[in-house]
Amino acid sequence: MDMMTFDLHILLSIVGVAFVGGVIGLDRTAVGQIMVSQPIVASPITGWMLGDVTTGLVIGAVLELIWVLDIPVGTFVPANSTIGAVSATAIAVLGSRGSAPLDRIGFSILLTTGMVPVTMMVDTLVRKWNSRLAETAVAASGEDAERKLAQAHLSGLLIFFLKSFVLYLVFLPVGLGAVFLFGRLPEKFHSAMTLFVKLLPLLGAAIVARKLSVRTLDRFLLAGFLTAAVFTLLFHVPALVVAAMVISAGFLGARFSER
């Protein structure tokens, strides 16, 4: 992408992504938690919106396992993986004007990883600001109490939406500018970013294994590895069939191991 193409189409796309990303982001805290805000869903939606669902699927697959166990317990505010996933997808697609190559996907992911502390800080500020909503509702009396409660409580929707919307409006142009500069970096940098994307699923697998088991080499992890390796490499069973077999075997194995 060159700077000349930072045109109306890009601007409208940025606003569109910011709006849809803001709505999707409500699922994280404010509404439902039906998990549309998870990278594996949010990224493909963004990619589909911008005409490159494959990039969305790649970024969703990479980021899902990395952030899935970063969970909101008590007052802990986890990293905003939704903003990371949506921004990375939008930056990669808009910065490529077509199907995003792997190096740009890798660079976009790296870029949005750097944004994580900012999103956590803003999420924390919003939660502090929300205390005012409770004060408004508690102060109301008489017939006003019910109306003020609903008004104050539902204002949270707008606050959480605006937080994400504004962050996207800041992050996306900055990211697109960075992708423009990335295009001028040496070829070795591009090769490194391609490898980065290919290794990220291993990091995701490591994070899940680390959080779900106290052992470095868990017996279920090893059993799953051997099962898939045998069927994939020895019997050359198609990948999707292996995935289905591993999932089924996992269910059976977990039940069997209890006895």
Partner 1 sequence: MNGEDREIGVSDLRRVFWRSFLIQTSWSFDRMQSLGFAYAIQPVLKKLYPNLSEYESRLKFHMEYFNTQPYLATFILGAVARLEQERASSNDRSPDVSGIKTALMAPLGALGDSFFWGSLKPLSAVVATALLLAGAWWAPIVFLVVYNIVHIGLRAAALVNGYKSAGDAVAFNARYNFTRIAKQFKAISLFVVGGILGSLPAWRPEFRLAVPYPGIVTAGMGFSLTLVLVAVLRRAGSPVKLMLGLAALCLALAYGGVIE
Note whether 40 binds partner 1 by CB under 8 A.
yes
Q: What's the min distance (Å) between Cβ of 96 and partner 1?
A: 14
Of the two residues 1 and 126, which places its CB atom closer to partner 1 in the complex? Answer: 126
Cα separations (Å) of 217 from 148, 201, 203, 206?
55, 18, 15, 10
Using the contact rule CB under 8 A, the part of the chain among 89-97, 162-170, 173-181, 203-211 near partner 1 is 203-211
Q: What's the min distance (Å) between Cβ of 167 and partner 1?
A: 17
Three-state SS letters, 53-103: HHHHHHHHHHHHHHHCCCCCCCCCCCCCHHHHHHHHHHHHHHCCCCCCCHH
Cα separations (Å) of 132 from 19, 53, 135, 242?
25, 40, 5, 53
Using the contact rule CB under 8 A, the part of the chain among 6-14, 16-24, 30-38, 176-184 near partner 1 is 30-38
Q: What's the min distance (Å) between Cβ of 74 and partner 1?
A: 8
Q: What are the backbone angles phi and psi of residue 6, rounded to the nearest 5°? A: -80, 70
Note whether 67 binds partner 1 by CB under 8 A.
yes
* Contact between 59 and 44 (Cβ < 8 Å): no
Residues 213-252 close enough to bind partner 1 by CB under 8 A: 213, 216-218, 220-233, 238-240, 242-244, 246-247, 249-251
Q: What's the min distance (Å) between Cβ of 48 and partner 1?
A: 10
* Contact between 91 and 176 (Cβ < 8 Å): yes
Residues 75-104 close enough to bind partner 1 by CB under 8 A: 75, 79, 102
Of the two residues 15 and 136, which places its CB atom closer to partner 1 in the complex? Answer: 136
Note whether 178 binds partner 1 by CB under 8 A.
no
Size of the site for partner 1 (CB under 8 A): 119
* Contact between 54 and 21 (Cβ < 8 Å): no
Of the two residues 23 and 61, which places its CB atom closer to partner 1 in the complex? Answer: 61
Using the contact rule CB under 8 A, the part of the chain among 8-16, 87-95, 144-152, 163-171 near partner 1 is 144-152
Note whether 35 binds partner 1 by CB under 8 A.
yes
Task: Give CA–CA dist 228/259, Å, rounded.
Answer: 24
Residue 38 DSSP one-character state: S
